[in-house]
Every structure is written in C-alpha cells, then in structure tokens.
Amino acid sequence: MTLHFFSAAFRPEDEAARQRAVEGLPPIPPADPVLQALLRDVCMVLRTPIAMLTLTDGDVQRIAGAVGIEPMELPRSVAFCAHTIAAPDGLMSVPDLRADPRFRANPLVVSGPQVRYYTGVAVRSGPFPIGALCGLDRRPHGPASFRQRAQLRRLALAVGERIGAPRID
C-alpha cells in the first residue's frame, strides 16, 4: 500500500489581523455583473474555463464569485488559494498540479473536479491577503507568462476595489 500526502499551506504570520480584515468586508453578491465580468476576464487572460474569487476565512475557503464552477466552501487545508495568500509575492502558478509534489495527492486533483492547472494572485484588504483571484483548468498548461501575471495582478486590484477592500498605495 502506498500512502500519498499533499501539503497544506502555512498560515501567514499576521493571521489574526488578516482574519479581522476578512471579517470586515461587506457582503459580496455572487451575481454582481461587474465581478462576473472581471472573472470572465481572468478566464480570457489565463485561457481557463474556470475563474474564482476566493476568501480564506478561518479554516474554510469560500468561493465568493465564480465562472465555470458553482460557488462553494472548501476546507482551507485542500485549497490552492491558501498557498497563494501565503506566498511571499502573493502569486502562485502551477502548470500541472498532478506533477507538483505539494498537490499531486490533493483531493481536488485526484478526485472531484480533477483540477490540473492553477494560477492565482492574492486579493488584498490593505496589507492583508484576504483571498485570491484565480484561474483553473482540468488540463495542464504552460507556466503563466509575465504578461498574464501582470494582467492578473491588475484584475485582482480591480476585484479588491469592487468588493470594498481598502487599498494601500
């Protein structure tokens, strides 16, 4: 019998303050047409059929808006976006999740939606990463290009403004 493990993300050092920033957000209507347009832009930029805005809230990841998948909650321990908000530069791109040792045994990769590609960037409220804007696919892609990463960062700023997250310039 072979055991396979996946890696849960570390929590940011300022987790308590980050959590307060999440709790301070106004309600986000999932059918917001501007948010939906921004999510479709993510699909176009990353060439993915799925885009999501996620909020990392305690031990769960809430999908606050989505294109190509129904909004839901996931355990933070299996969420790719939890790795994104913990990344020093707030961006993570994994061309093939099945080939990455951190994720190859993740239940979202081996069962369920069988996701193979992920690229996401942190959405911030002030200095705190409250969630992520991401694109996913059920097939692998090449790494996200510099241009795609820059466009995704700009879209994350627009999403942050749309959901009422305070900005630090």
The answer to the question of residue 6 being in a domain is: no
The answer to the question of residue 7 being in a domain is: no
pLDDT tens per residue, range 25-52: 998 887 899 999 999 999 999 999 999 9
CB 81 within 8 A of CB 110: no
Which CATH number do you get for residue 57? 3.30.450.40
Class of residue 147 by CB neighbours under 10 A (exposed 0-12, middle 13-18, buried 19+): exposed
The answer to the question of residue 4 being in a domain is: no
The answer to the question of residue 38 being in a domain is: yes
Predicted local distance difference test score (pLDDT) of residue 7: 58
Supply the pTM of this predicted model: 0.90
The answer to the question of residue 30 being in a domain is: yes
The answer to the question of residue 1 being in a domain is: no
**pLDDT at 5 > cutoff 60:** no
Average per-residue pLDDT for the chain: 90
Q: How many domains is the chain partitioned into structurally? A: 1
**pLDDT at 168 > cutoff 80:** no
Predicted local distance difference test score (pLDDT) of residue 30: 72
**Average pLDDT of span 133-143:** 97
Predicted local distance difference test score (pLDDT) of residue 8: 59
**Average pLDDT of span 149-165:** 94
Q: With pLDDT > 90 as the criterion, what percentage of the chain qualifies?
A: 74
Predicted local distance difference test score (pLDDT) of residue 2: 42
Predicted local distance difference test score (pLDDT) of residue 48: 98
Those residues with Cβ within 8 angstroms of residue 151's Cβ, 6 or more apart along the chain or in another chain: 45
CB 97 within 8 A of CB 117: yes
Domain residues for the domain of 127 are: 15-162
The answer to the question of residue 169 being in a domain is: no
- Lowest mean per-residue pLDDT among 8-17, 69-78, 112-121: 8-17
Measuring CA to CA, how many Å separate 56 from each of 65, 100, 101, 129?
13, 22, 23, 9
